[in-house]
Amino acid sequence: MLPFEKSEYEARIKRSKDKMHELGLDVLLVFDPANMNYLTGYDGWSFYVPQLIVVAIDEPYPLWIGREMDAEGARLTTILPEENILGYPDHYVHHPDRHPLDFLAHQLKMRELDRHEMGVDMDSYYFTPNGYECLRRNLPRVTFIDINDLISAQRSIKSERELEYMRQAGRIMNRVMEVAYEVVKPGVRECDAVAEIKAAQIRGVPGEYGGDYPAIEPIVLTGNRTGAAHLTWTDQPFEANTVVILELAACRHRYHAPLARTIHLGQPPDDYLRLADTVIGGLNAALDALKPGTTCEEVELAWRESTQRNGVKKASRIGYSMGLNYPPDWGEHVMSLRRGEKKPIEAGMTFHVIPAIWQAARGVEISESVIVTETGCETLCSVPRAVHVKT
Amino acid sequence: MLPFEKSEYEARIKRSKDKMHELGLDVLLVFDPANMNYLTGYDGWSFYVPQLIVVAIDEPYPLWIGREMDAEGARLTTILPEENILGYPDHYVHHPDRHPLDFLAHQLKMRELDRHEMGVDMDSYYFTPNGYECLRRNLPRVTFIDINDLISAQRSIKSERELEYMRQAGRIMNRVMEVAYEVVKPGVRECDAVAEIKAAQIRGVPGEYGGDYPAIEPIVLTGNRTGAAHLTWTDQPFEANTVVILELAACRHRYHAPLARTIHLGQPPDDYLRLADTVIGGLNAALDALKPGTTCEEVELAWRESTQRNGVKKASRIGYSMGLNYPPDWGEHVMSLRRGEKKPIEAGMTFHVIPAIWQAARGVEISESVIVTETGCETLCSVPRAVHVKT
């Protein structure tokens, strides 16, 4: 039982091949686990060893190449016929004198797929420089063309079924944040709060559907750690009269709904509430601007015009496209909401809009995950857009 | 508050520099998050963007180079002085025309560290071929030498403090498996069981210490999925009279104690119990053989001699060195227990011995995480070495 109809995977493969035709490529090597999943359904925690999908323009289905012990997982989770699933023997794994991509190169040669140009996603996690050198050594006549965006860009516009999974993730995320608001309090160890948060992520919506693992672990920032962006939890207790920033997500069939919120333990000072109002006003302005017909930089400009009159500055992007992914990131790496980025916003795109302000002992993070509709945007979650004050 | 004394990090840096002297290297680029943590303490979920540690032989401390918004995390979690922490601006992130390693190359040139040979861990996750090409383009006079094992091999022998954290992880793991044995039962959704397992991983030992996130998500195999090696959970209920394989871990300050166990829901057939006895006998034989003075392949041979008289065969390695790590793997990629691997076993090494047998609908996984002592080995966990039968 795959999350999508076979025809949906086939349509994705077809669109990728159309792109290959445009670029004059006969072969694609797809190392990115999200792209592997997108094209074939493959879903296993096996990306810690080299694995990939080979798309050959004349073959109806791609090849899956991975470790022999994971071939059964490929049989169970992909649309691929048996003969397209190739496992390499275990003696290739973590061996100083052999590399799994030696096996790949051999397979490509046997099938006469070692053409003069080959598309590769050169910035994908888990495809290492060693693997790349191994391919160059084995396939000296091949020129490797970076096609990093060929499949990822396609992923940025979602189908109805994909959007449905993201809405389901959003519903799980609502429950996760409800749990977080309940359990985070002075004297409770950060790890005990995260234990409940993680359980809620995976439990999902009881009686309806469960949750999958998000691509990023819970980010928990409190005390002097609110000036940092990506630290996880400690086993120290939360203190009274402090800020607690949470950046969390829920995940359904690898589709994400991230959400950041800020809890204030104890009544916040007025200047903190003013900062929070500015952050919320900026987020609202960005969401109002996010619709088909605008560009990434125009959305950022709407945010900037709203916030700079209150003296808030921010050096980093205010959001990015996201959706289907594996650790270490739920972002798609296709679009960023920032100055100078002129990519057009289209219906069916999904963004995490997160104009976070990190300041030691008083940061504010309030975000929304959204679907771009024909006329504006729809939020995946429905948690009030406010600092949650616990007195 | 770092998990180790500053002097322990300094000793690790010194040992790395001794190795650099031996190899005639003036500069190391360390991209692997575990190696970054090992040398400096750095601990944040920021490896989804390029980041690294630069070890220059003449400088007392390494440089940390990462995204500007993560520099504060480096200040809070490393032993490094302020001037050694360098953040690159956000416009380098996920940009088609710029790469964060352009910034790195510029910094190396400014410091005249662009020598003719440079050590790089070429098989580290999160250092992509694009990043490598970026360095080659910017530093045309540099030859990059693969030093993948230079730091990882050092990591394979643990200090007393490191072993202490692994024992703490082992104690958490005991509790995690206790919870798993309680919650896995017919009719319970896999996701609901995993929710409780994950909560136990993070809660740690109440009143003493909490748990960190393990580098691999819970592996849950049941029904026809027991023939696969690395699938995660679904939201379907467990069925009666089936095998449930769990490969889990607990983690403390990034140090792991993995453990696999098998639950049989309902009374197992006799031939299944015989298979389990063979697996346990093989594991015992391997653990008996695992001591200083032997080699990796001798441990595998002890396992093979024990199991093959009962007709059990296995194409993959039966264990590997593990300890400090980040997703996607708790393994160190330094030693594998398998035929042909002649590396010597030394006191202070830590292994996950996992002679798993995957067969459709009747696999058995029973493993131990161990410390090699002067005379044998010590297990990190104390969960009975048996199939857990729930009737």
Residues A131 and A183 occupy one common structural domain = no
pLDDT at B361: 73
Domain membership flag for residue B170 = yes
Residues B118 and B176 occupy one common structural domain = no
Domain membership flag for residue A1 = no
pLDDT at A313: 85
Partnered with residue B66 across adjacent β-strands are B87
How many structural domains is chain A composed of?
2
Residues B228 and B294 occupy one common structural domain = yes
Q: What is the dihedral of CA B56, B59, B62, B64, to 10 degrees?
A: -90
Q: Report CB contact under 8 Å: A338, B128.
A: no
Which positions in chain B touch A321 (Cβ < 8 Å)? none
Residues A214 and A356 occupy one common structural domain = yes
Residues A276 and A296 occupy one common structural domain = yes
**Among the residues of A115-213, which ranges form H helices?**
129-138, 148-155, 160-183, 190-203
Residues A333 and A190 occupy one common structural domain = yes
Q: Report CB contact under 8 Å: A189, B210.
A: yes
Q: Which of A135, A154, A173 is the last residue of a domain?
A: A154
pLDDT tens digit at each of 391 positions of chain B: 899 999 999 999 999 999 999 999 999 999 999 999 999 999 999 999 999 999 999 999 999 999 999 999 999 999 999 999 999 999 999 888 899 999 999 999 999 999 889 999 999 999 999 999 999 999 999 999 999 789 999 999 999 999 999 999 999 999 999 999 999 999 999 999 999 999 999 999 999 999 999 999 999 999 989 999 999 999 999 999 999 999 999 999 999 999 999 999 999 999 999 999 999 999 999 999 999 999 999 999 999 999 988 888 888 999 999 999 999 999 999 999 999 999 999 999 999 999 988 877 788 999 999 999 999 999 999 999 999 999 9
Nearest residue on chain A to B231, alpha-carbon basis: A44
Partnered with residue A222 across adjacent β-strands are A244
ipTM higher than 0.90? yes
Determine contact, residues A32/A185, Cβ cutoff 8 Å: no
Domain holding B321, by residue range, is 160-390
Domain membership flag for residue B264 = yes
Q: Report CB contact under 8 Å: B200, A202.
A: no
Residues A61 and A169 occupy one common structural domain = no
Dist. CA A91–CA A93, nearest whole Å: 5
Dist. CA A70–CA A88, nearest whole Å: 9
Q: Which amino acid is at A380?
A: L
Determine contact, residues B323/B167, Cβ cutoff 8 Å: no
Q: Which of B132, B155, B178 is the last residue of a domain?
A: B155
Closest CB from B91, B231, B317 relative to A90: B317
pLDDT at A358: 80
Domain membership flag for residue B1 = no
Q: Which of B130, B155, B180 is the last residue of a domain?
A: B155
pLDDT at A99: 95
pLDDT at B50: 97
Which positions in chain A touch B153 (Cβ < 8 Å)? none
Closest CB from A77, A94, A198 relative to B336: A94
Residues A141 and A236 occupy one common structural domain = no
- What residues contact A358, with CB distance under 8 A and at least 6 apart? A221, A226, A227, A228, A229, A365, B69, B72
Which positions in chain A touch B89 (Cβ < 8 Å)? 315
Q: What is the residue-wise DSSP string for B266-308?
A: SPPPHHHHHHHHHHHHHHHHHHHH-STT-BHHHHHHHHHHHHH
Low-confidence ranges of chain A (pLDDT < 50): none
- B35-69 b/e with 16+ CB inside 10 Å = b? bbbbbbbbbbbbbbbbbbbbbbeeeebbbbbbbbb
Residue B114: strand, helix, or coil = coil
Cα distance from A351 to chain B (closest Cα, Å)?
15
Domain membership flag for residue A80 = yes
Name the token pair of A347. Answer: 């219906």
Nearest residue on chain A to B125, alpha-carbon basis: A126
Residues A56 and A42 occupy one common structural domain = yes
Q: Which amino acid is at A10?
A: E
Residues B150 and B164 occupy one common structural domain = no
Biggest CA pair distance of chain A: 70
Write the CATH number for B297. 3.90.230.10
Mean pLDDT of chain B: 96
Cα distance from A93 to chain B (closest Cα, Å)?
9
Cα distance from B354 to chain A (closest Cα, Å)?
14
Write the CATH number for A114. 3.40.350.10
- What residues contact B175, with CB distance under 8 A and at least 6 apart? B200, B205, B250
Cis amide bond preceding A81, omega within 30? no
pLDDT at A143: 95
Residues B149 and B73 occupy one common structural domain = yes
Cα distance from B60 to chain A (closest Cα, Å)?
25
Dist. CA B203–CA B219, nearest whole Å: 19
Residues A269 and A246 occupy one common structural domain = yes
Q: Report CB contact under 8 Å: B73, A127.
A: no
In chain A, % helix, strand, coil (3-state, to 5) comes to: 40, 25, 40
Domain membership flag for residue A73 = yes
Domain membership flag for residue B103 = yes
Biggest CA pair distance of chain B: 70
Q: Report CB contact under 8 Å: A199, B195.
A: yes
Strands B388-390 and B255-265, how do they pair?
parallel
Domain membership flag for residue B322 = yes
Which positions in chain A touch B145 (Cβ < 8 Å)? none
Quickly count: other Cβ atoms within 10 Å of residue B125's Cβ.
22
pLDDT at A291: 98
Which positions in chain B touch A41 (Cβ < 8 Å)? none
